[in-house]
Amino acid sequence: MSDSARIWILIAAVSVGTFLIRYSFIGLVGDRAIPRWAARMLRYVPVAVMPALVAPLIAWPQATGGETDPARLLAALAALGVGIATRNVLASIFGGMAVLYLTLWLVG
């Protein structure tokens, strides 16, 4: 199979599959009632999924070949600290990026 054929089959399969994953509950379950315990667990989706997603990226960044990087670690802590202190998304992003660039510049 040519590289291009492989790419197109992948795009087709992943886009259809991903749409079905996204549509699953919003589309098929809709507003049907779900058990109370399930609703309780779903309340914690944001704080359970995203920290898990991000933790390995911070601990072992790909850009440094998986080696823990002080600049990226500090930037992550800054984004978290500023986010909690200010409750502001923009401040959190700016805080993180500022510390990242500053530390990279100081170290590099």
Partner 1 sequence: MDHDPPDLTRAFRLGIRDGLPFLIVIVPFGMLFGVLAGEAGWSLTEIMAMTILVIAGASQFTALQLLSEHAPLLIAIVTALAVNLRLAMYSASLAQYIGATPPLGRVLAAYCLTDQTYGISMTRLARGPELTPRERLAHFLGGAVPVCIPWYFATWLGTALGSAIPPALALDFAAPITFIALVGPGLRTLPQIAAALVSVVVALALAALPYNLWLLIAALAGMTTGALTEIWLERRA
Site for partner 1 in 59-88 (CB under 8 A): 59-63, 72, 75-76, 79-84, 86-88
Question: Closest approach of Cβ 37 to partner 1, in Å?
Answer: 7
d(CA 63, CA 77): 18
- Name the E strands within 10-92: none
Binding-site member from 35, 44, 65, 106 for partner 1 (CB under 8 A): 44
Region of residue 88 (left: phi > 0; alpha: psi -120 to 50; beta: else): beta
Binding-site member from 21, 67, 106, 107 for partner 1 (CB under 8 A): 21
Question: Closest approach of Cβ 54 to partner 1, in Å?
Answer: 4
Site size with partner 1, rule: CB under 8 A: 77
Question: Closest approach of Cβ 67 to partner 1, in Å?
Answer: 13
CB 96 within 8 A of CB 76: yes
Burial level of 99, CB count in 10 A (0-12/13-18/19+)? Answer: buried
Does 55 help bind partner 1 (rule: CB under 8 A)? yes
